[in-house]
Amino acid sequence: MKNVTFKQFRYLEALAEHGHFGRAAEACSITQPALSMQIKALEEELGAALFERDRRQVRLTSFGEEIALRARHILRSLDDLEGYARGARGGLAGKLRIGVIPTIAPYLLPSLVAELTRLHEGLDLHVRETLTPKLVQELNEGRLDMAIVALPVSEPSLTETALFTEDFVLVRPRADEGKPVPNREALREMRLLLLEEGHCFRHQALAFCNRSEQAAQPRDLLDASSLSTLVQMVEAGLGVTLVPEMAVAVETRSASVSVSRFPKPPPSRTIGMVWRRTSPLARQLTHISEAVRTSAAALRQSR
């Protein structure tokens, strides 16, 4: 076992996650032949096959599953060690792995990255955009240092810090410009366009309308994978939708739609940061949360 390396364990983890040599190599920023060679070397060192290979996919053998689990624990311990070293230095430098949900990332990240780069010259930012359940999983596995999400997450292993609240607005076809804004009861009777299942924003919109997945009929709801698609569907006359305020300027600037605010109290969400309670970077992440607040405030002022 003296020739096994941490890098090989990271390649093993990536291949186990992606089930494809090409995608795993891309995730690791190496060539596919180099990844294949390292996996083969690891198998030879361990004396058994880690993966079953066929034309369509790559899957772990039973032996590979056990090795991958142990490798994951070793890598998380290594990441924690690196985190403690960074925490001991006091400042923020080196790699910082940030997760962001899709209804925040395109709108907040440009100003946030600029702010963090300005404040911390030696920071090496790695950004991951995906849904909240996946971000929570990767935080708990040590693959992310922090995440920006809609609260609450209610995960006992994570610290939650609320940063700001933003309202939702109603997006309707341009022909509805000037019409009274429907209340939540009236909105329940309209065809509501929503993000697909898995997005927390979907459930927040349904909650405002006092609707549930079970109560909604298929003809009442249409799903999309992004806010951009939702706005385009509204422009095409397929229904109405709710959009978080930070997304309005980007998503409606070239769309022929009407944007209206709800009467008070409007539907809203609380945006915050989460990180592991055991993270050695807790103090530094508190400083990062202030940069997120600053970036969000700048975004609101620019609208």
pLDDT value at residue 240: 93
Nearest alpha-carbon partner for 102 in 260, 247, 298, 274: 247
Residue 218 has pLDDT above 50, yes or no: no
What is Dmax (Cα atoms) for the chain? 73
Residue 144 has pLDDT above 70, yes or no: yes
Residue 197 has pLDDT above 90, yes or no: no
pLDDT value at residue 183: 84
Q: Calculate mean pLDDT across residues 139-161.
A: 92
76-94 pLDDT tens trace: 777 766 665 565 555 566 7
Domains in the chain (CATH in brackets) are: 6-83 (1.10.10.10), 92-303 (3.40.190.290)
Contact 168, 184 (CB under 8 A): no
Instruction: Give pTM, 2 decimals.
Output: 0.74
Q: Calculate mean pLDDT across residues 213-221.
A: 49
Q: Which of the four pLDDT bands, split at 50, 70 and 90, describes residue 57?
A: confident
Q: What is the DSSP letter of 50?
A: -
Position with higher pLDDT, 109 vs 209: 109
168-188 pLDDT tens trace: 999 999 999 989 999 888 888
pLDDT value at residue 159: 95
Q: What does the mean pLDDT of the chain come to?
A: 86
The secondary element (H helix, E strand) that includes residue 34 is: helix 32-46
Residue 102 has pLDDT above 50, yes or no: yes
* Cβ burial, residue 107 (10 Å; 0-12/13-18/19+): buried
239-282 pLDDT tens trace: 999 999 999 999 999 899 999 999 888 899 999 999 999 888 88
Position with higher pLDDT, 225 vs 148: 148
pLDDT value at residue 303: 67
Q: Which of 55-64, 105-114, 211-220 has the lowest mean pLDDT?
A: 211-220
pLDDT value at residue 69: 87
Q: Calculate mean pLDDT across residues 287-298.
A: 88
pLDDT value at residue 18: 85
pLDDT value at residue 225: 87
pLDDT value at residue 219: 44
List, as one string, the DSSP characters of 132-157: HHHHHHHHHTTS-SEEEEEEP---TT
